[in-house]
Every structure is written in structure tokens, then in C-alpha cells.
Amino acid sequence: MQYLIAEKRISFSTDSAEILEQFERFRVREERGECTKLEMGSLAEFRAKYVHLSAKQCELLLSMQMFAKSAACHKKLLMHAVTVVVDNEGYVIAGKPGAGKSTMARQWLDHFVGRSFILSDDRTVAGIKERQAAGWMTPWSKVSHGDPFRAYKVNGIAFISKSKDCAMRRMSREEAVERIRDDYPEEYRRLAGEVADDLCRIVRVIAVQSNIADLDVEKMYRMMKE
């Protein structure tokens, strides 16, 4: 079957009904010959390496890695991040597992009630479209709302970490690129860094240290927007 993810047409086959359901929103009815096939031939080897994961988790993780590599070749990044859309504009909240991305996203929803939704709660594609930063939802997120085929303008990216105190600061482009690049496997880290460098030249990037409870959502929003 063929799917359209972040305006990239891919071919992906699976015997898992659960995975098919997860990808269903992205399926295109009219299939074409020109598409990128996500090669899953190494799945058995992948499962042997990640024995602590279920078969479904292994398949999703491998497909995600294959897509990330292909996307980077087309100037887009698959980020471990939550994207919150406020007034039809996106704000990317990135961080390591356990940093509090989902909790922080819920705080944004509470603050901007009636004006916001979560585009992707775990994996977001970010890139440049028509000279603006843009974000897309992906099938690798458990929670996603909005239009699966739409590119949402992205105003800012926040890299978050847990701390006893709260602090926010602007990040240099070099620091932000390094953070993004380090999430990629070594074999295409350089390529991801080049894409990240282009993206961070046109989008506002901040670092947020937070204990979550005392987060000033309005301040964070303004720093990413203005």
C-alpha cells in the first residue's frame, strides 16, 4: 500500500492489522509508480537486536528509522517531539524520553483551550516549505489531530529538560543543530545536521528547563512566536 507522509509518498507492507490501522489515515487511494519503498528486509535481524520489544514495536521502529533516513535525503527531519498547534500555527516541543513533552503539551492545551490541538504526540516531521518552517503529523504518534496531509507553519522549536527550577533562553543555531543531529544514527548524522542547519536559520529555537508545575506557558509561547 502507498501512504503520503509529510508530502512524501512511500510504499510499506505489513501483516499487522494494528499497524495498518495506525497508518490508515495516511493511505492514498490512487497509487502511483513513483514512491519510496520502506525496505523491511532486515526486520528479523532487528528483532534479534531488540529482544525486549514486541514484534509490533520492532516493525514500527524499523519503519520509522527507514523513513527518517529517506526524509533527511529530501530535506526533512523526523524529530522525537510533540507538536502543539495554536491558532493553526505549530510549536515543536522536543526532548529526551521522560523529559515531560506530553505533560507540557497538555499544559499548552489547557492554556490555549479552544484554540489548540496536538498534531503529533511523539514523532513530528519538520522541514521547510515555501521558505517557511513547517511541520507534519506522522503515523508513529499515538495521538494526532488535524489534517494528515497538511503542512502546518512552525513558529518555534523548544528543547526541554527537567530541572528543579524554571528557566528559558534562546538557543544558538549551532547548539540546536547539534541537539537534532545527535538523535540520528551516525551513518546519516551529517545529512541530518545539514537539514537542521537550514531549518534553524528560519525558526526560533529555545531551551526550556522546567519542573513542569511552575511552567510559564505564555512566556514560552511568546519566545517561540515573536
Query: Sheet harboring 8-11: ordered strands across?
Result: 2-5, 8-11, 36-37
Query: At 26, is the pLDDT very low, low, confident or very high (cuts 50, 70, 90)?
Result: very high
Q: What 3-state class would DSSP assign to 45?
A: helix
At 147 the pLDDT is 96
**All domains of the chain in start order, with CATH:** 1-74 (no CATH), 76-226 (3.90.228.20)
Q: What is the DSSP string of 146-202?
A: S-TTPPEEEEEEEEEEE-SS-EEEEPPHHHHHHHHHTTS-GGGHHHHHHHHHHHHTT
At 42 the pLDDT is 80
At 82 the pLDDT is 97
Which three cell numbers mark 131?
Answer: 521558505
Please name the residue that has the C-alpha cell 491558532. 87
At 50 the pLDDT is 87
pLDDT at 6 over 90: yes
pLDDT at 195 over 90: yes
At 134 the pLDDT is 97
Query: At 165, is the pLDDT very low, low, confident or very high (cuts 50, 70, 90)?
Result: confident
Condensed to tens digits (0 to 9), the pLDDT of residues 61-78 reads: 999 989 999 999 999 999
Please give the average per-residue pLDDT across 87-109, as a whole number.
94
Condensed to tens digits (0 to 9), the pLDDT of residues 40-63 reads: 778 888 888 888 999 899 999 999
